[in-house]
Amino acid sequence: MGMHRSVDVSVDAMLHDLRALVEVESPSRDLDALGASARTVAAVIESRLGGQAVLVGSEAGPHVHWSGGGEPRVLILGHHDTVFPLGTLERRPFRVEGGHATGPGVFDMLGGLVQAVHGLAALEDLSGVEILVTADEEVGSVSSRPLIEERARACGAVLVFEGAAEGGGLKTGRKGCGTFRVSVTGRASHAGLEPAAGVNALIEAAHQVLDIAALNNPEVGTTVTPTVASAGTSDNVVPAEATIVVDVRVESAEEKERVETAFAALTPHLDEAEIAVRGEIGRPPMQESASAGLFEMAQQLLPGIEGRAVGGGSDGNFTAALGVPTLDGLGAVGGGAHADHEYLVVGAMEERAELVTGLVDAIRNSRLE
């Protein structure tokens, strides 16, 4: 793409673009909504940076890819899907008041996308910069993962624009995370006339919940948390089926292997009961070593900024696992991700956009190990 005329970072302009993104709702798996959202993201990128943002079709919705040309050096990574269903905007419209911007997705992670684009717009030269904004991060990145990994390898450094850690810190490490679903099959019978003729899937599920919870090892950062359970059809029927959903977080590859092996080895406690396990720890741990060089650059640009290892996962887990230097949490300062009180701190937007400008320049002028 060559040279690009630099511009000063404007908070008003960032809020204008943030409103545009928020007011096009983009719940995961809603292909029509995600299509409209992707087109809006592309329009914002093109209006601020020039060039062409390409929509990459997928079964999860369109991803948005933009390149500044030249040898790839740094990948700006984010997502435009949100967890909020259609209609949330009517109940919780975009607003700016009291120093906060609110509305569905402002913190996770539309504010980060806007800051990234405006930080890049302040550069004179955009060569070597790529932007990838995916459509399925909130639901596991199954469709986008190959593209994320391809562009991360090509670029050699990744800046992830998920919301900042508490207090505005950058995210220098993340736990690996995944979801398991344990399905229990028993046999129905009349709960009053012949309860012993049945195989109670709910009782079997209760045994399994205790076995699963015993896999917890918080001393090494592993949490195994049963989160959703369902069973039964009527109050007078021995339940024939039950399901358990489990959230898992780990800090090391060894714990990932241990937990996955333990789930595969689960066995029934009741005669004639059957269980089936699906799932995996799909996002590998992001070790702090992956962010060390980039975080040092950020500290030089913004002295006093903190780095934190956090429990949540992002697409940065994938890129770090490849050995590609990755720094996360560069997005909005605020809080309330996935909640009705989600907010972005307007006063931090300019500083975070300028951090993007400095980091991209620093990366292009260095050779990361």
Q: Which of 17, 25, 136, 137 is catalytic?
A: 137
pLDDT score recorded for residue 368 = 64
Quick: pLDDT tens for 37-70. Answer: 999 999 999 999 999 999 999 999 999 999 999 9
Give the closest residue to 359 by CA, choosing from 285, 313, 287, 291: 291
Q: pTM here?
A: 0.90
Is residue 81 annotated as a catalytic residue, yes or no?
yes
Which positions ≥6 away from 208 have C-beta within 8 Å?
Answer: 182, 184, 244, 266, 269, 275
pLDDT score recorded for residue 207 = 98
pLDDT score recorded for residue 8 = 81
- Could you give the domains of the chain? 11-175+286-364 (3.40.630.10), 176-283 (3.30.70.360)
Quick: pLDDT tens for 123-141. Answer: 999 999 999 999 999 999 9
* Burial annotation 294-319 (CB, 10 A radius, 16+ → b, else e): bbebbeebbeebebbbbebbbbbbbb
d(CA 158, CA 309): 17
Read off the tokens for 339: 């909640």
Within the chain, which residues score under 50 in pLDDT?
1-5
pLDDT score recorded for residue 1 = 34
pLDDT score recorded for residue 2 = 36
d(CA 258, CA 267): 16
Asked whether the CA dihedral 226, 230, 235, 239 is positive or negative, the reply is negative
pLDDT score recorded for residue 6 = 56
Read off the tokens for 289: 């070593």
Q: Tokens 């009782």 belong to which residue?
A: 203
Is residue 137 annotated as a catalytic residue, yes or no?
yes
d(CA 149, CA 279): 21
Q: Which of 25, 81, 136, 354 is catalytic?
A: 81
> Under DSSP, is residue 321 helix (H, G, I), strand (E, B) or coil?
helix
pLDDT score recorded for residue 235 = 95
d(CA 53, CA 113): 14
